[in-house]
Amino acid sequence: MTELRRSTPRFKWGIFAVHAALILACVINIYPLLRIISVSLRPGNRLISTDLALIPDGATLLSYVSVIKNTNFLLWLWNSLIITVATSLIGVILASTAGYAFSRFRFPGNKLGLTLLLGTQMIPAGMLLLPLFLMVMKLGLINTYLGMVIAYSVSSLPFSIWILKGYYDTVPRSLEEAAMVDGTTQFGAFYRIVLPLSTPALAIAFLFNFTAAWNEYLVARVILSNSAKYTWTLGLFELQGQFITQWGMFAAGSVLITIPVLMVFLYSSKWLVSGLTLGSVKG
Amino acid sequence: MGIVKKYRALFLLLAASLAGVACLRPPGQKNDANTLVVWEQEDALVAPFLDSILNEFKKQPGNENLSIQRVHYHTEDLRQQFQTASIAGSPPDIIIGPPDMAGVFAVSGFILPLDGLFDFSQYSKQALGPVTMDGKIWGVPTSVGNHLMLLYNKKLAPQAPQSTEELFKVCPGLVRGKNLSYCLAYDMNEPYWLIPWLTAFGGWPLDGNNPTLDTPAMLAAVKFYLELRYDRKLVPMECDYNCMDSLFKEEKVAFIINGDWALADYRSRMGDNLGAARIPKMSSTGRWPSPMVGGKDMMFSSKLSGAKLETAKKLAVFFTSDENQLRQARELYRIPSVSRLAAAPELQRDALLKGSIEQMQVASPMPMLTELRAIWDSGRHYLGGITQKKMTPEDGLRRMQKDCEGKIQEMMR
Amino acid sequence: MNSQVLLSLLEVLQMVGFVAFVTLWIEAYLYVHFNFPKKSWFLPAVLSVVPFAVLLLVLVAVGPVITVGQAVNIYLYSLLAEALLSSFFRYKGDKKLALPYMLIMPGFVGLALLIAYPLVFEVYLAFHDLKLTTLKVWSETGYLPFVNFEHFYDVFTKSPLSEVSFWQLLGRTLWWTVVNVFFHVAGGLALALLLNNEIRLRGLYRTLLVIPWAMPCVVAVLAMRGEFHSEYGFINIMIGRLTDAFPMLAQLGMHKVQWLSQHAFLTCTIINVWLGIPFMMVVILGGLQSIPKSYYEAASIDGASRFQKFRHVTLPLLRPVLAPAVTLGTVWTFNNINVIYLVTGQSGGTEEADILVSALYKAAFTFNRFSYSAAFALVIFVLLAVISLMWLKFSKGTESAYD
């Protein structure tokens, strides 16, 4: 995709205004993150303080040390990583094929399928927890990665399919037709031509699956009860008690787990904009 | 039929992969006879203590093959998960938690009544009251507590006030002299904190199973709240638990009303500067406030039987042995549920524990009733409305009572 | 730690094997049924193989705990189902459809399992009476009293919380959805237009601006909530300092506000708007960048002003991108519980900020009203479906996505 941008503002002050507005927006967007960092550096175990300084008096990294040393933080991270990566891969594979079918074929149930996908987003998700638990229990998937991965990859499937279908629609059919004239099967054309061209959308679907699974709490709470299988969300919330919460450690943990997501975002940022195509711009 | 041969390979592949995958089945949850599953909802600071008790228990003779799996949940999660797991037929063997969740479990039949299984005569009435319902005992108290008391920072206020009049007298000077934000901090929207004041006016939120929220005592207690907040400005306006906790830790208030769960945390931060005393006497009525008292209890799943039940019983006895109860008191500042231990010189020597025990001994056991949940919920909502002056006290209490009755009816009908 | 890592790797292998196997099974089934239904060997072959395969599949999924009777049942039922299915394929099957169905089926089987079953379960619950006092009997015998539409009647007549009625909640939910989606789109559009200029540090800005989206939602909301605290939040502290520095502002009516208790709904809205803008920004930016530059050049030649270009080129061309995003955004916002739940607390407290879903959560989990909340959830679902259908019809919202 070629980068096409609008013309540059003509006047110098225009650029300044744009920069000023963007800087203001950035500050608003990252300020809470900075505050969490500040809580994690705060000595003693306090969430709230009248102190607005981002580096508090007597700042210390003790919370970081204790969250890594005194808890199973690394194990939680490892579990989260396994579940998240597996979820993202499976989710993207399932969505990329299904999206292709919706984009290129007319088959009975085509529109119905797409509507149903939208419909799944309308169910108040938490209400499915009790039946979900009973089912997972019957299938013996309590405390397994498999149970988590199935639940996660399926639940972000509808959105991924929409994204990928939207993107495939922008890929000209003539490319596949040419390949099929040369004797490739339709699936071969999809695999060799359409998929590589759709890297941005695949990256977005991956990213979306990744963040959704990485940050999930409710389903994990239901499926996992063995602390050896805990994901970081469950682990970190263990620091939150009925009355006493280890705010310092909680914040330090939060900062540490935000880093991988930020890195994934940073890495995929070149596709982020071009890949999120929910519908095509016909131009 | 030649074609069948042609595609025979496909079917063979199918069958072979099925057989292969049969051993790919991921391992699910283990729940064999030698594993005791314990669910709890303790704060993170308590986990090491619990683990050490469980480990000690495993070292007891006869427990060589025993393994214990401790699982932590938030209080709310524990309640829901225990229910769900019980429905699914695979509950944990033991839960350790506050007695207020026992009511729900007892009504739905998910925990065992324990009469006859233990010698309950050794436990104090404050410990047993909260786990007694319909004349049956539903849990083994591992500690008695969760009661509110007045905690103070001796650096700011060397003495605890004995009465509300005294409190009103020292406060203005303290705030000005020590440059405090407020004098006293606590969460005014949380009905649990209203109970001691309510009792100081001679009230109680329940009469039998019926809520009594629209009473003269309630009105007096609520009006006292408004006085504290608006007329005397002694207590901060919008202050939840984290806020009051931070204020006290930052030495921006001299007094806090908080439960025994906070003692260990404050003690480690403030050392001997932390004092504990009874909540001051209500000068206008001459009565001392009596907070609710509960504690922590060990409850047994109704699925528990046979050898496992015996092991669970042994664990409960082990947990409430003199040695472990005193150790718990030393490490967590929790009062032993065994009544004779409260007077142990070892505990009486510690001024903090002594203050906490004094308050506990005049506290009223929290009733083990599911109705209490409705009271907390309605209370929280309308108390918020009244203290923010969105409604008059009279109107608010009338609506609180009505709402609470409705909720109980919904729940129990 | 090390042994745990090894064990978990082993489990990952098992998991991959399991998923691959199930997928393979589905694909093989579809392949055979679409391609060979007219062959003479088809019926006997599938009828003899498939029921056994299903039985094995169940054994693999559930473990060897089923009784012989159950096994026979499964076999017979799958035999019957297979007979019906294979004759359907025999007369109606179409070879050309093999590929699309093979492509979508693995995902849809997962969805059916994860969503259809729980949904059916909820419908069952809504018409029966599961609550504290019937729990035990139900878990042991499976018996629940049938109560017809009683719970649905309650949904509309009784408050799920204290006093706020269903209709008030519905009104607030609609207002919440409209306001949030509007500001998400407006804010996203503004930022996207700013970012679409050719300026330095664009990449950096873009990265920083998506942080609210990238941050774990729970952490982000808790942090924002802290900023609204009446004494310790950034906002009130700043207001305090401003009015101290410029007493004039105080005279104009600027003063500290008890955000969390007096203006809970406003606070939740602000936080949710903050959270949702980055997603819209990225969607819109994608749309902006795919508008060919030549359109603007043509407009310039016609002497169009910047605003005219925006009005007549940018907006119409963004429509196909925006419409599905708005549809999804509406559904998500309507069902968004995180912000309100985390800001106003689990139960009790203020109910002035609650929308339908958050009221549902509080009602369901605090009072064990399983059946009532199942009915409530179904009502929400139907409402949302009706609203979305009307919106789709009215706006032709997802036309581009259906093409």
- pLDDT tens-digit profile of C232-272? 788 888 888 888 888 888 888 778 888 887 888 999 999 99
In this predicted model, what pLDDT tens digit does every residue of B257-299 receive, in sequence order? Answer: 999 999 988 998 888 999 999 999 999 999 999 999 999 999 9
**Angle B355-B357-B359 (CA atoms, 0-180°, nearest 5)?**
70
In a domain, B413, yes or no: no
By Cβ distance, the residue of A49, A222, A225 closest to B246 is: A49
B193 lies in the same domain as B225: yes
Chain B nearest C-alpha distance from A228 (Å): 10
What span, in angstroms and rounded, lies between the C-alpha atoms of B208 and C210?
56
* C263–chain B Cβ distance below 8 A for any pair: no
- Residue whose C-alpha is closest to residue B226's, from B240, B237, B217: B237
Instruction: Read off the tokens for A179.
Output: 């390949």
User: Which amino acid is located at C44 in the chain?
Assistant: P
Report CB contact under 8 Å: C198, A5.
Answer: yes
Which of chain B's residues have a Cβ under 8 Å away from the Cβ of A140?
A: 25-26, 28-29
- Which range has the worst mean pLDDT, B261-265, C187-191, C324-328, C332-336? C324-328
Question: What pLDDT sits at residue B25?
Answer: 55
Which of chain A's residues have a Cβ under 8 Å away from the Cβ of C218?
A: 215, 217, 233
**A119 to chain C: closest CA residue:** C385
In this predicted model, what pLDDT tens digit does every residue of C208-220 receive, in sequence order? Answer: 898 888 888 888 8
Beta-bridged to residue B296, according to DSSP, are B143
Question: What pLDDT sits at residue B84?
Answer: 83
Question: What pLDDT sits at residue C57?
Answer: 76
Judge whether A46 and C230 are in contact, CB under 8 Å.
no
Chain C nearest C-alpha distance from B141 (Å): 24
B248 vs C403, more confident: B248
Q: Which domain holds residue B333?
A: 35-144+294-360
B104 lies in the same domain as B185: no
What span, in angstroms and rounded, lies between the C-alpha atoms of B345 and B358?
14
Quick one: average pLDDT of A232-254?
Answer: 81
Best-predicted range by mean pLDDT (A129-138, B136-145, C136-145, C329-338): B136-145
By Cβ distance, the residue of A44, A134, A140 closest to B28 is: A140
Instruction: Mark which residues 142-181 of C lie under 8 Å from A by CB.
Output: none
* CATH classification of the domain holding B79: 3.40.190.10
C371 vs C393, more confident: C371
Question: What pLDDT sits at residue B327?
Answer: 93
Question: What pLDDT sits at residue B14?
Answer: 62
Judge whether A278 and C325 are in contact, CB under 8 Å.
yes
Look at chain B and report how many structural domains it folds into: 2
Instruction: Give the ipTM.
Output: 0.84
* C48–chain B Cβ distance below 8 A for any pair: no
In this predicted model, what pLDDT tens digit does every residue of A96-114 receive, in sequence order? Answer: 999 999 999 988 888 889 8
Question: Residue A1 CB: number of other CB atoms within 10 A?
Answer: 13
Which of chain C's residues have a Cβ under 8 Å away from the Cβ of B110?
A: 135-136
What span, in angstroms and rounded, lies between the C-alpha atoms of B386 and B379?
10
Instruction: Mark which residues 238-277 of B lie under 8 Å from C by CB.
Output: 238-239, 243, 246
**B413 to chain C: closest CA residue:** C133
In a domain, B74, yes or no: yes
Instruction: Read off the tokens for C7.
Output: 């064990």
What span, in angstroms and rounded, lies between the C-alpha atoms of B221 and B233?
16
Chain C nearest C-alpha distance from B284 (Å): 30
CA A91 centroid distance within chain: 12
* C198–chain B Cβ distance below 8 A for any pair: no
In this predicted model, what pLDDT tens digit does every residue of C19-59 receive, in sequence order? Answer: 888 888 889 889 988 988 888 888 888 888 888 888 877 77
B179 lies in the same domain as B139: no
Instruction: Mark which residues 340-399 of C lie under 8 Å from B by CB.
Output: 346-351, 365-369, 372
Question: What pLDDT sits at residue A114?
Answer: 87
Residue where the block lists tokens 């599949």: C57
B125 lies in the same domain as B182: no
Question: What pLDDT sits at residue C402?
Answer: 57
What are the backbone angles phi and psi of residue B184, rounded to the nearest 5°?
-130, 140
What span, in angstroms and rounded, lies between the C-alpha atoms of B276 and B291?
14
Report CB contact under 8 Å: B384, C347.
Answer: no
Which of chain C's residues have a Cβ under 8 Å away from the Cβ of A119?
A: 385
In this predicted model, what pLDDT tens digit does every residue of B182-199 receive, in sequence order? Answer: 899 998 888 999 999 999
What span, in angstroms and rounded, lies between the C-alpha atoms of C174 and B378?
26
By Cβ distance, the residue of A44, A133, A138 closest to B84 is: A133
By Cβ distance, the residue of A33, A134, A266 closest to C207 is: A266
In a domain, B351, yes or no: yes
Question: What pLDDT sits at residue A56?
Answer: 77
Residue B145: burial class (beta carbons within 10 Å; 0-12, 13-18, 19+): buried
Averaged confidence pLDDT in chain B: 87
Report CB contact under 8 Å: B18, C53.
Answer: yes
Chain C nearest C-alpha distance from A201 (Å): 11
By Cβ distance, the residue of B28, B74, B241 closest to A143 is: B28
Chain A nearest C-alpha distance from B70 (Å): 8
Reply yes or no on whether the pLDDT at A47 is more than 70: no
Report CB contact under 8 Å: B80, C63.
Answer: no
Which percentage of chain C shows pLDDT scores above 90?
21
In a domain, B409, yes or no: no
Which percentage of chain B shows pLDDT scores above 90?
50
Reply yes or no on whether the pLDDT at A279 is more than 70: no
Mutate to test the interface with A, among C34, C88, C99 (most CBs of A within 10 A): C99
B135 lies in the same domain as B155: no
Report CB contact under 8 Å: A158, C111.
Answer: yes
B157 lies in the same domain as B113: no
B257 lies in the same domain as B192: yes
In a domain, B227, yes or no: yes
- Residue whose C-alpha is closest to residue C188's, from C206, C215, C174: C206
Question: What pLDDT sits at residue C148?
Answer: 85
Report CB contact under 8 Å: A238, B269.
Answer: no
Question: Residue A144 CB: number of other CB atoms within 10 A?
Answer: 25
Residue C304: burial class (beta carbons within 10 Å; 0-12, 13-18, 19+): middle
By Cβ distance, the residue of C15, C36, C369 closest to B26 is: C15
B126 lies in the same domain as B95: yes
Question: What pLDDT sits at residue A87?
Answer: 94
B196 lies in the same domain as B271: yes
In a domain, B128, yes or no: yes
Interface contacts (A, C; CB < 8 Å): 319
By Cβ distance, the residue of B22, B89, B238 closest to C60 is: B22
The domain boundary, picked from B272, B290, B308, lies at B290
Report CB contact under 8 Å: A242, B45.
Answer: no
In this predicted model, what pLDDT tens digit does every residue of A173-227 receive, in sequence order? Answer: 888 888 888 888 888 999 988 999 888 889 888 988 998 899 888 888 888 887 7
Reply yes or no on whether the pLDDT at C227 is more than 50: yes
* B250–chain A Cβ distance below 8 A for any pair: yes
* B45–chain A Cβ distance below 8 A for any pair: yes
Mutate to test the interface with A, among B35, B54, B76, B84 (most CBs of A within 10 A): B84
Report CB contact under 8 Å: C232, A48.
Answer: yes
B106 lies in the same domain as B50: yes
By Cβ distance, the residue of C1, C207, C373 closest to A75 is: C1
Averaged confidence pLDDT in chain C: 85
Report CB contact under 8 Å: C118, A74.
Answer: no
- Which range has the worst mean pLDDT, A2-11, A17-26, C210-219? A2-11
Question: Residue A277 CB: number of other CB atoms within 10 A?
Answer: 30
Report CB contact under 8 Å: A45, B265.
Answer: yes
Mutate to test the interface with C, among A94, A150, A206 (most CBs of C within 10 A): A94
Q: Which domains does chain A have, with CATH numbers?
A: 1-60 (no CATH), 61-275 (1.10.3720.10)
B159 lies in the same domain as B284: yes
Instruction: Name, in order, each residue with C-beta under 8 angstroms of C96's C-beta and a sequence gap of 6 or more.
Output: none
Judge whether C239 and C257 are in contact, CB under 8 Å.
yes
Instruction: Name, in order, each residue with C-beta under 8 angstroms of B273's C-beta and a sequence gap of 6 or more.
Output: B153, B154, B155
CATH architecture of C150-402: Orthogonal Bundle (1.10)
Confidence of residue A283 (pLDDT cuts 50, 70, 90): very low
Question: What pLDDT sits at residue C242?
Answer: 87
Judge whether C108 and C114 are in contact, CB under 8 Å.
no
What span, in angstroms and rounded, lies between the C-alpha atoms of B109 and C138?
11
Chain C nearest C-alpha distance from A96 (Å): 9
What is the end-to-end Cα distance of chain C in Å, rounded?
Answer: 52
Question: What pLDDT sits at residue B1?
Answer: 43
Mutate to test the interface with A, among B182, B246, B256, B334 (most CBs of A within 10 A): B246
Report CB contact under 8 Å: B74, A240.
Answer: yes
Reply yes or no on whether the pLDDT at A10 is more than 60: no
Question: What pLDDT sits at residue C43?
Answer: 84
**C331 to chain A: closest CA residue:** A122
Question: What pLDDT sits at residue C347?
Answer: 47
In a domain, B410, yes or no: no
* A227–chain B Cβ distance below 8 A for any pair: yes
Question: What pLDDT sits at residue C272?
Answer: 95
Reply yes or no on whether the pLDDT at C403 is more than 90: no
Question: What pLDDT sits at residue A7?
Answer: 47
**Beta strand B292-300 pairing with B94-97:** antiparallel
